[in-house]
């Protein structure tokens, strides 16, 4: 007897506009796939665990550096302290030096396959 448990037995239906259908079909054609095959590949790819891209690392590291600078400046202002140019330069250098490490830590906290948020 043949084991058929690995065959595709379930289907997913979705309604789209004529314009959306044309765009999706054109994209599938450009990759040399039928619309059903292309759609299946896209859906399954979207649920795979994935690593953050270089662009995502860059964006998160820059946001974390800006956050570090902003919070330190606001805290100093709240205490009534005037920040000198040298202190600001030191703060920027420290934030830049730590930003990639902190971004990688945040991505690690988010867990594998996390697409939204960073922790």
Q: Which domain, by its residues, includes 88?
A: 54-110
pLDDT of residue 114: 47
Please provide the DSSP assignment of 4-38 as one string. -TTS----------HHHHHHHHHHHHHTT--HHHH
Instruction: Mark residue 32 as left, alpha or beta (left: phi above 0; alpha: psi -120 to 50; beta: remaining).
Output: left
The pLDDT score that the predictor gives to residue 5 is 64
Q: In the chain, what are the helix, strand and coil shares in percent, each to the nearest 5?
A: 65, 0, 35
In a domain, 92, yes or no: yes
- 78 and 105 housed in the same domain: yes
Same-domain pairing of 71 and 89: yes
| pLDDT (0 to 100) of residue 110 | 62
| pLDDT of res. 1 | 66
Quick one: residue 84, left, alpha or beta (phi over 0 = left, psi -120 to 50 = alpha)?
beta
Show pLDDT as tens, one digit a residue, over the chain (119 residues): 677 667 888 889 999 999 999 999 999 999 999 999 999 999 998 888 777 888 988 999 999 999 999 999 999 999 999 999 999 999 999 999 999 888 888 888 765 544 444 33
Same domain, 37 and 61: no
**Are 60 and 34 part of one and the same domain?**
no
pLDDT of residue 4: 65
The model's pTM is: 0.51
């Amino acid at each position: 007897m043949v084991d058929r448990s690995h065959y595709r037995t379930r289907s997913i239906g979705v309604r789209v506009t004529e314009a959306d259908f044309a765009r999706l079909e054109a994209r599938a054609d450009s990759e040399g796939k039928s619309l059903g095959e292309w759609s299946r590949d896209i859906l399954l790819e979207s649920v795979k665990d994935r690593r953050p891209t270089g662009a995502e690392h860059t964006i998160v590291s820059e946001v974390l550096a800006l956050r570090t600078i902003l919070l330190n400046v606001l805290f100093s202002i709240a205490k009534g302290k005037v920040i000198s140019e040298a202190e600001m330069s030191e703060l920027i250098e420290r934030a830049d030096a730590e930003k990639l490490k902190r971004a990688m830590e945040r991505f690690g906290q988010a867990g594998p396959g996390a697409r939204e948020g960073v922790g």
